[in-house]
Amino acid sequence: MVSLESLIVLLPLLGAVIIGLGGLANAAFRKQEGLIGWLASAMVLIPFGIVLTRFFGYQNMPLSFSLFSWMQAGGLDISFSYKLDDLSLPMMLVVTGVGALIHIYSIGYMHKDPGFYKFFAYLNLFIFAMSNLIMADNLVVMFLGWEGVGLCSYLLIGFWYTDMIKAEAAQKAFIVNRIGDFAMLVAMFLIYQMFGTLDFSLINAEAANPVAEAAGNRYFWITLLVFVAATGKSAQIPLFTWLPDAMAGPTPVSALIHAATMVTAGIYLIVRLNPLFLASPEVLMVIVVIAALTSVMAALTAIAQNDIKKVLAYSTVSQLGFMFMALGAGAFTTAIFHVITHAFFKACLFLGSGSVIHAMEHAHAAEDPQDIRTMGNLGKDMKSTSLTFWISTLAIAGIPGLAGFFSKDEILSSLFFNGFENQVYFAVWAVGLFTAILTAFYMTRLAWLTFNGKARYKTGAHIHESAPLMTIPLWILAVLAVLGGYIGLPYLIGHGEFHLFNHWLGDLVVNRDLHHALEEHAVFEYLLLALAFIVSIGTVLFARNLYSKHDLAADDKVKGFFGKFYGVMAGKFFWDELYDTILVRPFAWIGSKLLRPFESDGVDGIVTGAGSAVAGIGEVFRRLQSGLVSNYMVLISGGVLLVLTYLIFG
**Would you tell me which residues interact with another protein (CB under 8 A)?**
622-623, 625-630, 633-634, 637
- Residue 145 CB, nearest approach to another protein (Å): 58
Cβ neighbors of 456 (< 8 A, separation 6 or more) are: 373, 374, 375, 376, 552
Please report how close the Cβ of residue 647 comes to another protein at its closest, in angstroms: 17
Looking at the Cβ atoms of 527 and 617, the one nearer to another protein is 617
Provide the minimum distance between the beta carbon of 609 and another protein in the complex, in angstroms, as a whole number: 23
Nearest residue (CB) to another protein, 584 versus 635: 635
Which residue lies nearer to another protein by CB, 73 or 629?
Answer: 629
Amino acid 159 reads F
* Under 8 Å between Cβ of 233 and 262: yes
For Cα atoms 415, 418, 419, give the angle at the middle one, nearest 5 degrees. 90
In DSSP notation, 115-179 reads THHHHHHHHHHHHHHHHHHHHBSBHHHHHHHHHHHHHHHHHHHTTTTTSHHHHHHHHHHHHHHHH
CB closer to another protein out of 454 and 622: 622
* Phi-psi domain of 360 (left: phi exceeds 0; alpha: psi -120 through 50; beta: other): alpha
Q: Which is nearer to another protein, 581 or 637 (CB)?
A: 637
- Shortest Å distance, C-beta 623 to another protein: 7
User: Which residue lies nearer to another protein by CB, 75 or 627?
Assistant: 627
Q: What is the largest CA-CA distance in the chain?
A: 114
* DSSP at 510: P
Burial (CB count within 10 angstroms: exposed 0-12, middle 13-18, buried 19+), residue 37 = buried
> Is the peptide bond between 238 and the residue preceding it cis, with omega within 30 degrees of 0?
yes
User: Least distance from C-beta 633 to another protein, angstroms?
Assistant: 5
Q: Can you list the positions of beta strands (E) in 381-504?
A: none
Q: Show Cβ contacts of residue 496 under 8 Å, excluding neighbours closer than 6 positions.
A: 502
How buried is 211 (Cβ within 10 angstroms: 0-12 exposed, 13-18 middle, 19+ buried)? exposed
> Nearer to another protein by C-beta: 454 or 623?
623
CB of 642 to another protein, least distance (A): 15
Q: Which is nearer to another protein, 21 or 641 (CB)?
A: 641
**In the complex, minimum distance from the CB of residue 627 to another protein, in angstroms, rounded to a whole number:** 3
In the complex, minimum distance from the CB of residue 637 to another protein, in angstroms, rounded to a whole number? 6
Distances 173 to 82, 133, 151, 355, 571 between C-alpha atoms, Å: 28, 19, 10, 25, 20
